[in-house]
Amino acid sequence: MLDDLTRAVLSRDEVARYLEATRGESGAAARDRVVAYIEELRTTQRYPIYRALKHPLYPILRKIERRSEHLEIVRRATEAGRVVYVSNHRSHIDYLVEPLVLDDNGIRPPIIAAGINLFGGPLGLIHRHVTGALPIRRNMKDPGYLITLKAYVAELLGKHDLFFYIEGGRSYSGELKPPKTGLVHAVLQADRRGLVIVPCAIAYDLVLEDHILARQGTKRTQRPFTRELAEMVRYAVGYRSRAFVTFGDPISLEHRDPHARRDVLDLAHQTRSAIGRIVKVLPTAIVATVMGPSIAARELETRVAQIIDVLRAAGANLDVTDPVEAVDHAVRAFASRGIIVVERGRLRVRERNTLRFYARAIDHLLRAPGSRTH
């Protein structure tokens, strides 16, 4: 016996056409595979328990000061209809901070699309049966899976808002990566009246996994999340940071053809560009951009003043505009992390790759890349 959701997914045109194309014994196997994928994607959000998760997570969350910008945009959008939040991806902490910013302000929680590697063990049970996270197999080539995923998302959007990361996984280099189009296509294909995309950008003074990501530089293999979690716990000692979550103007999905690849690509790039414009530019990113291997504080302030002028002209969402304040804030943060050291009035880089990780966070905003000597 099939439940209503499974029947709804199987009856969607794109799934029906796929199954029609695979007849006989292979067709039965294809149908079984599609049903298995639906079961894997099935998720339940239990809102009262979801809210209670703040308490066991308090030891981590108390280290991060959550700040939000332009929540009025979200309130208007959710009052008008269904919303798809699309964000950049800096840290595993994003999954905690961004939904809690919405919950802190009484905004209904979305279903979050997350990599399937996060669904093992107790954490997987929480994701699947409490937060309502949607497990995604990234880089999956099976057309049956891709068709099923898009059909499932389309049905899900009839009852829930959705939240996903347009870069796919986290940025190991620190830069804003090119957009992935799979879920963008699924959202368009849903063809839900009044549905809009709300760009969302997250930025940290310090990213909890900065040393881990910067050391690897690029994602080579999918490591077990339990190993990543153990490393994050190690780097959480003494960790403190602000997290800025900024929302941008809604992007309409009207007059876009889900069957036209150009429309899907244009929407993905438009959304990614909107995220890049609203991301909070913090002192750590500015100082990292102009920092030399060894530099006097006064010279650093001069360089920071110059880059702030460039960023202001580019319309960047700046946290501070005073170069002295920016240098003071960033130096204290980097020194606490062991990324730089202060010696007799000079600042010296100790973790070059980690510094570059922060600098690349604003590369997309600079008209001409800053000259970096570190």
Other CB atoms within 10 Å distance of the CB of residue 321: 12
41-278 maps to which CATH number?
A: 3.40.1130.10
The rounded radius of gyration (Å) of the Cα atoms in the chain is 22
In this prediction, residue 292 carries a pLDDT of 92
Domain limits, CATH 1.10.10.10, in the chain: 281-365
Q: Is 224:124 a contact under the CB 8 Å cutoff?
A: no
The CATH 3.40.1130.10 portion of the chain extends over 41-278
Residue whose token pair is 């360089």? 303
- pTM across the whole model: 0.88
| Predicted pLDDT of residue 151 | 93
Give the model's confidence band at 250: pLDDT under 50 very low, under 70 low, under 90 confident, else very high.
very high
Q: What pLDDT score does 371 carry?
A: 41
* pLDDT band of 369, cuts 50, 70, 90: very low
Position 354 scores a pLDDT of 95
- The share of the chain scoring above pLDDT 90, in percent, equals 58
Q: What is the pLDDT of residues 251-285, one digit of tens each?
A: 999 989 998 999 999 999 999 999 999 999 999 99
- Cα separation, 45 vs 369, in Å, equals 44
Residue 32 CA to residue 109 CA, distance in Å, equals 32
Q: Which of 140-144, 172-176, 228-232, 238-242 has the lowest mean pLDDT?
A: 228-232
pLDDT at residue 54 above 70? no
Query: Which residue has better confidence, 373 or 149?
Result: 149
Q: pLDDT tens across 108-118, in order?
A: 989 889 887 77
For range 122-142, the mean pLDDT: 73
CA distance readout (Å), 328 to 29, 77, 333, 367:
62, 38, 9, 25
Q: What is the pLDDT of residues 313-345, one digit of tens each?
A: 999 999 999 999 999 999 999 999 999 999 888
DSSP 192: -
Which is more confident, 235 or 354?
354
Give the integer Cα–Cα distance in Å for 330 and 332. Answer: 5
Is 281-365 assigned to CATH 3.40.50.300? no
d(CA 127, CA 114): 9
User: Which of 19-28, 78-87, 163-172 tops mean pLDDT?
Assistant: 78-87
